[in-house]
């Protein structure tokens, strides 16, 4: 094959057996790579009712056809499994340098199945994979474990691993690579921990074969030129993703005090310029990235002075900061570092801490429940303490590590209304009352409270069109129209293709679909056009949806927290607004998707149109 290496490695951890298998050509053409291929394997091999933390669940790492090539930001991979946090199909995606190195070993991906009796890690080199004992690594934080592996294998290896949170099966645990990059969402670090799998280390020398090298070089060169001359590059390079904070705040949609309000009064203490001026040490780019939006940070004063690492990103600053009413950027940065070290999703951790603070404020969570801790909004030291407790799964951290949905189910007393999650996945850093179509995006996403599958937040909160779709304009963020559901559908289909191809979604802002089609076609040698691009994305979205429907999810699960549906925004530009039109938006969206309005299932006709006959038979 061109683009793809053409094979995966299958690791049966129960038996300690490793086999290689070729990726079927017809399956590759239908699903292309990355999250597409991984979702196909997951659907076929993980049956209805599988326990996400049991041996029958599978954990799939998969790169795309552009991963490891010279096109812009082609350094990403997807981890796909059944989520222990939500019980749904789950994907976590990450950049850095691990994915290109894994692909250079000759494997497009890895399927882990079963459970090892003892801690192990996998080493991948050219056309070879072997399991090694990880007893000495178990219990180590991400940075320490990574260093120990590099000391043993050599500095040329790239490592993806879990921290103590994943080992202890925290449902907020993630997979970290290159120490600081996170495949963050859905608790997939806990799946890795449940299998006694500590890490994957990769080092290869193989090159990605390109079907039409000159055409590929020409298209890539054009893309780099466009990006290098763009304001996107200037903004992200200067302040990183946290440049968004002021934009969302001024729209009145910045989650503050657990989404109670939509503006943060002391925004200048935590925004992009504040991060740049106070903790920025250096800028870092992922593989083949012309932007360098990553932040290398160091705390320069106070009790955590000298601590350094990467981040925080926009989502982390908001959920760990404004949502907890914490204005101390050093504390937010320290909590972010702890999440990286313990292997935790910063979005979910910040969200559940903000939720706990509100529960304490309302008397739903008492000192007896907290072990004597006073967990009040604005307490910077408590933010850091609770983050570490969640990382260690100690004290109150044992409960909070289960996620907002399960905490609310245990506490009751109306807390379910302001537990800010969808399907169990904690919401990210945008309040939908200030841009209502984003609420539909959260509600219908296969993995739950997900902003990245369709990133409808871009056209709404920051007025940024995505050139990868024909029309991503939202006319009125407060009065959603039927067409807005079509925009969401088109964005989901198109942006899924970035996770399929192994590239960064920021590139969808700058470059149109034709350019991405030319890249995929020139790399793979396939007859791949814009219609193929759209249909492949649509196919993956529908198969992930079918995975959930097969396990009993329905339209009833496509909903939002009561706070967003029933509580008008109390202040700011969005004052008086709530997401009261969700049912109508769902009807519109299902119609554009070809899904049954009563049940929320993809219709049998739609699934068969996409070549997903097995899924049609399973859910109908």
C-alpha pair distances (Å), 323 with each of 162, 316, 430, 458: 26, 10, 10, 20
Rounded to an integer, the average pLDDT of 333-350 is: 98
Residue 71, pLDDT > 90, answer yes
pLDDT tens digit string along 513-539? 999 999 999 999 999 999 999 999 999
Tell me the torsion sign for CA atoms 457, 463, 469, 475: positive
| Strands 308-310 and 197-202, sheet pairing | unpaired
Which contiguous run of DSSP H or E holds residue 177?
strand 175-177
Mean pLDDT value of segment 563-592: 97
pLDDT at 45 over 90: yes
Say if 7-202 and 250-419 have the same CATH topology: no
For the chain, what are the domain ranges?
Answer: 7-202, 250-419, 432-619
Starting at the edge strand found earlier in the chain, the sheet holding 280-284 runs: 280-284, 294-298, 308-310
Furthest C-alpha separation in the chain:
68
The answer on pLDDT for 511 being more than 90 is no
| Band (229; pLDDT cuts 50, 70, 90) | confident
- The pLDDT assigned to 508 comes to 82
Radius of gyration of the chain (CA): 22
- Does a cis peptide bond (omega within 30 degrees of 0) precede residue 312? yes
Structure tokens at 66: 């552009």
Is 90 exceeded by the pLDDT of residue 103? yes
Helix (H) / strand (E) element for 315: namely helix 314-320
Please give the pLDDT value at position 230.
84
Cα separation of 240 and 233, whole Å?
9
Instruction: Read off the pLDDT of each residue in 385-410 and give the average, rounded to a whole number.
Output: 98
Reply yes or no on whether the pLDDT at 481 is more than 90. Answer: yes
- CA-to-CA distance for 338 and 320, rounded, in angstroms? 12
Q: What average pLDDT does this structure show over 426-434?
A: 98
CB 275 within 8 A of CB 284: no
Taking the CA atoms of residue 384, residue 158, residue 75 and residue 427 in that order, the dihedral angle to the nearest 10 degrees is: -20
Q: Is the pLDDT of residue 409 over 90?
A: yes
Class of residue 225 by CB neighbours under 10 A (exposed 0-12, middle 13-18, buried 19+): exposed
Residue pair 512/9 in contact by the 8 Å Cβ criterion = no
The average pLDDT across 315-338 equals 98
pTM exceeds 0.95, yes or no: yes
- What is the average pLDDT score of the chain? 97
Least confident of 462-466, 540-544, 577-581: 462-466
432-619 sits in which CATH class? mainly alpha
**Distance separating alpha carbons of residues 616 and 453, to the nearest angstrom:** 23
Question: Do 61 and 177 form a contact (C-beta atoms < 8 A)?
Answer: no
- The answer to whether 260 touches 570, Cβ cutoff 8 Å, is yes
Please say whether the structural domain 7-202 has been given the CATH code 3.20.20.140.
no
CATH class of 250-419: mainly alpha
Instruction: Return the structure tokens found at 380.
Output: 């910077």
pLDDT band at 506; cut points 50, 70, 90: confident
Could you tell me the pLDDT band of residue 453, with boundaries at 50, 70 and 90?
very high
Neighbours of 351 (CB within 10 A): 32
- Which pLDDT belongs to residue 226? 86
Instruction: Pick the closest to residue 272 from 314, 324, 320 (CA basis).
Output: 314
Phi and psi at 482, nearest 5°, equal -55, -40
Could you tell me what percent of the chain has a pLDDT over 70?
100
Q: Which residues, 6 or more positions from 344, have their beta carbon under 8 angstroms from its beta carbon?
A: 163, 165, 170, 172, 173, 174, 189, 338, 387, 390, 391
Residue 463: the pLDDT is: 86
Strand order in the sheet with 158-161: 128-133, 120-125, 197-202, 158-161, 175-177, 181-183
Q: Tell me the pLDDT band of 233, cut-offs 50, 70 and 90.
A: confident
What pLDDT does 241 receive? 95
pLDDT for position 465:
85
Q: Which of these, 407, 421, 447, lies nearest to 170 by C-alpha position?
A: 407
């Amino acid at each position: 094959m061109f683009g793809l290496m053409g094979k995966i490695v299958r690791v049966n951890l129960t038996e300690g057996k490793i086999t290689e298998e070729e990726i079927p050509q017809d399956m590759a053409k239908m699903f292309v790579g990355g999250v597409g291929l991984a979702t196909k394997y997951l659907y076929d091999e993980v049956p209805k009712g599988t326990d996400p933390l049991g041996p029958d669940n599978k954990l799939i790492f998969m790169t795309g056809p552009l991963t490891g090539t010279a096109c812009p930001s082609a350094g990403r991979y997807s981890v796909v499994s059944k989520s222990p946090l939500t019980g749904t199909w789950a994907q976590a995606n990450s950049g850095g340098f691990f994915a290109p190195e894994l692909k250079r070993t000759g494997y497009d991906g890895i399927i882990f199945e079963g459970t090892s009796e003892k801690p192990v890690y996998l080493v991948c080199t050219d056309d070879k994979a072997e399991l090694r004992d990880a007893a000495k690594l178990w219990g180590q934080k991400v940075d320490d474990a990574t260093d120990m592996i590099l000391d043993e294998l050599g500095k040329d290896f790239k490592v993806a691993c879990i921290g103590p949170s994943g080992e202890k099966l925290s449902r907020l645990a993630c997979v970290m690579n290159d120490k600081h990059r996170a495949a963050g969402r859905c608790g997939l670090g806990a799946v890795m921990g449940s299998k006694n799998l500590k890490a994957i280390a990769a080092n290869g020398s193989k090159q990605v074969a390109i079907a039409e090298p000159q055409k590929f070089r020409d298209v890539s060169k054009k893309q780099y030129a466009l990006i290098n001359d763009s304001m996107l590059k200037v903004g992200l390079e200067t302040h990183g993703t946290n440049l968004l904070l002021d934009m969302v705040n001024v729209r009145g949609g910045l989650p503050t005090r657990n989404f109670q309000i939509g503006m943060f009064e002391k925004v200048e203490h935590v925004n992009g310029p504040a991060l740049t001026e106070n903790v920025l040490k250096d800028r870092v780019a992922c593989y083949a990235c012309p932007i360098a939006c990553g932040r290398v940070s160091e705390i320069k004063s106070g009790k955590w002075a000298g601590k350094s690492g990467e981040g925080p990103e926009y989502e982390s600053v908001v959920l760990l900061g404004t949502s907890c009413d914490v204005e101390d950027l050093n504390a937010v940065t320290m909590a972010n570092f702890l999440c990286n070290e313990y292997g935790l999703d910063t979005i979910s951790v910040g969200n559940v801490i903000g939720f706990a603070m509100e529960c304490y404020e309302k008397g739903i969570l008492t000192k007896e429940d907290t072990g004597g801790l006073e967990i009040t909004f604005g307490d910077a030291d408590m933010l850091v303490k609770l983050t570490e407790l969640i990382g260690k799964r100690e004290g109150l951290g044992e409960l909070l590590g289960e996620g907002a949905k399960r905490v609310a189910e245990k506490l009751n007393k109306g807390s379910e209304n302001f537990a800010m999650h969808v399907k169990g996945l904690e919401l990210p850093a945008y309040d939908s009352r200030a841009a209502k179509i984003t609420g539909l995006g959260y509600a219908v996403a296969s993995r739950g409270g997900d902003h990245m599958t369709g990133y409808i937040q871009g056209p709404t909160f920051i007025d940024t069109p995505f050139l990868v779709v024909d029309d991503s304009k939202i006319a009125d963020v407060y009065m959603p129209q039927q067409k807005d559901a079509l925009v969401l559908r088109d964005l989901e289909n198109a942006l899924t293709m970035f996770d399929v191809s192994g590239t960064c979604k920021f590139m969808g802002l700058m470059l149109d679909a034709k350019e991405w089609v030319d890249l995929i076609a020139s790399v793979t040698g396939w007859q791949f056009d814009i219609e193929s691009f759209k249909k492949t994305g649509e196919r993956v979205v529908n198969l992930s949806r079918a995975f959930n429907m097969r396990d009993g999810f329905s339209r009833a699960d496509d909903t939002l927290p009561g706070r967003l549906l029933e509580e008008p925004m109390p202040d700011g530009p969005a004052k008086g607004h709530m997401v009261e039109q969700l049912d109508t938006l769902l009807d519109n969206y299902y119609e554009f998707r070809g899904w049954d309005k009563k049940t929320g299932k993809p219709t049998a006709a739609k699934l068969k149109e996409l070549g997903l006959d097995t899924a049609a038979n399973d859910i109908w």
